[in-house]
Homo-oligomer: A and B are copies of this chain.
Amino acid sequence: MSFSVKSVRTVDQPISFFMQQAVENPRLISLAAGLVDYDSLPAHEVEEAVRQVLGDPRSAQVALQYGTTQGLSALRQVLLERTAALDRVTPAAMSLTPDDCLITTGSQQLLYLVSEALLDPGDLVITAAPSYFVYQGTLQSMGVRTLSVPQDADGMQTDALADLLAYVQRRGELPRLKLVYVVDYFDNPTGSTLSLPRRAHLLELVERYSRDHRLVLVEDAAYRELRYDGDDLPSIKSLDTRNAYVVLAMTFSKACAPGLKTGYAFVPRDLREPLLRLKGNHDFGSNNFTQHVVHRLVKSGAYDRHVAVLREVYRRKRDALCNALEQALEPGWRVRWARPAGGLYVWLRLPEWVETGPGSPLARAAWDEGVLYVPGQFCYLPEESKTVPRHEIRLSFGVGTPADLREGVMRLARACKKVLGAAAQDGCPTPLASLTRP
Contacts of A289 in B (CB 8 A): 46, 257, 259-261, 290
Question: Are B290 and A1 closer than 8 Å at their CB atoms?
Answer: no
- Of B6, B12, B261, which contacts A288 at CB under 8 A? B261
Question: Are B47 and A286 closer than 8 Å at their CB atoms?
Answer: no
CA distance A259 to B3 in the complex (A): 32
CA distance A288 to B287 in the complex (A): 11
A66 at interface by CB-CB < 8 Å: yes
- Of B7, B120, B213, B271, which contacts A274 at CB under 8 A? B7
CA distance A256 to B52 in the complex (A): 20
Question: Are A117 and B288 closer than 8 Å at their CB atoms?
Answer: no
- Of B11, B16, B281, B290, which contacts A141 at CB under 8 A? B281
Question: Are B2 and A212 closer than 8 Å at their CB atoms?
Answer: yes
Contacts of A50 in B (CB 8 A): 47, 50, 54
In the complex formed, the residue of B with least CB distance to A42 is B64
In the complex formed, the residue of B with least CB distance to A288 is B259
A432 at interface by CB-CB < 8 Å: no
CA distance A63 to B38 in the complex (A): 10
Contact with B along A24-52 (1 / 0, CB 8 A): 00000000001110110111101100110
Question: Are B7 and A278 closer than 8 Å at their CB atoms?
Answer: yes
A130 at interface by CB-CB < 8 Å: no
Contacting chain B: which of A104-112, A158-166, A342-350, A420-428?
A104-112
- The verdict on A134 contacting B258 (CB below 8 Å), with A7-B118, A118-B1, A278-B7 known, is no
Q: Of residues 128 to 153 in A, which have CB atoms within 8 Å of B's CB atoms? A: 134, 137-138, 141
CA distance A1 to B212 in the complex (A): 9
22 A-B pairs with CB atoms under 8 Å apart are: A1-B216, A1-B270, A2-B213, A3-B117, A6-B120, A7-B116, A7-B274, A10-B281, A13-B284, A16-B280, A38-B61, A43-B54, A43-B64, A64-B258, A65-B259, A108-B282, A112-B281, A112-B283, A259-B292, A261-B286, A262-B287, A290-B290
Contact with B along A1-21 (1 / 0, CB 8 A): 111111100111100100000
A57 at interface by CB-CB < 8 Å: yes
CA distance A128 to B36 in the complex (A): 46
In the complex formed, the residue of B with least CB distance to A214 is B1
- Of B1, B258, B288, which contacts A65 at CB under 8 A? B258
Q: Of residues 240 to 280 in A, which have CB atoms within 8 Å of B's CB atoms? A: 253, 257-262, 268, 270-271, 273-274, 277-278, 280
Contact with B along A352-380 (1 / 0, CB 8 A): 00000000000000000000000000000
Given contact pairs A4-B119, A34-B66, A67-B259, a sample of 8 additional A-B residue pairs in the complex whose CB atoms are under 8 Å apart: A1-B118, A1-B271, A47-B55, A63-B259, A65-B258, A66-B253, A66-B258, A112-B281
Contacts of A277 in B (CB 8 A): 7, 10-12, 141
In whole Å, how far is A250's beta carbon from the nearest beta carbon of chain B?
15
In the complex formed, the residue of B with least CB distance to A55 is B47
A60 at interface by CB-CB < 8 Å: yes
Query: Which of A16, A36, A55 lies at the interface centre, i.e. has the most chain B CB atoms within 10 A of its CB?
Result: A16
Q: Of residues 85 to 136 in A, which have CB atoms within 8 Å of B's CB atoms? A: 105-106, 108-109, 112, 116-120, 123, 134
The 4 closest A-B pairs by CB, nearest first: A43-B60, A2-B213, A64-B259, A64-B257
CA distance A270 to B1 in the complex (A): 7
A408 at interface by CB-CB < 8 Å: no
In the complex formed, the residue of B with least CB distance to A23 is B68
In the complex formed, the residue of B with least CB distance to A61 is B38
In whole Å, how far is A207's beta carbon from the nearest beta carbon of chain B?
13
In whole Å, how far is A387's beta carbon from the nearest beta carbon of chain B?
26
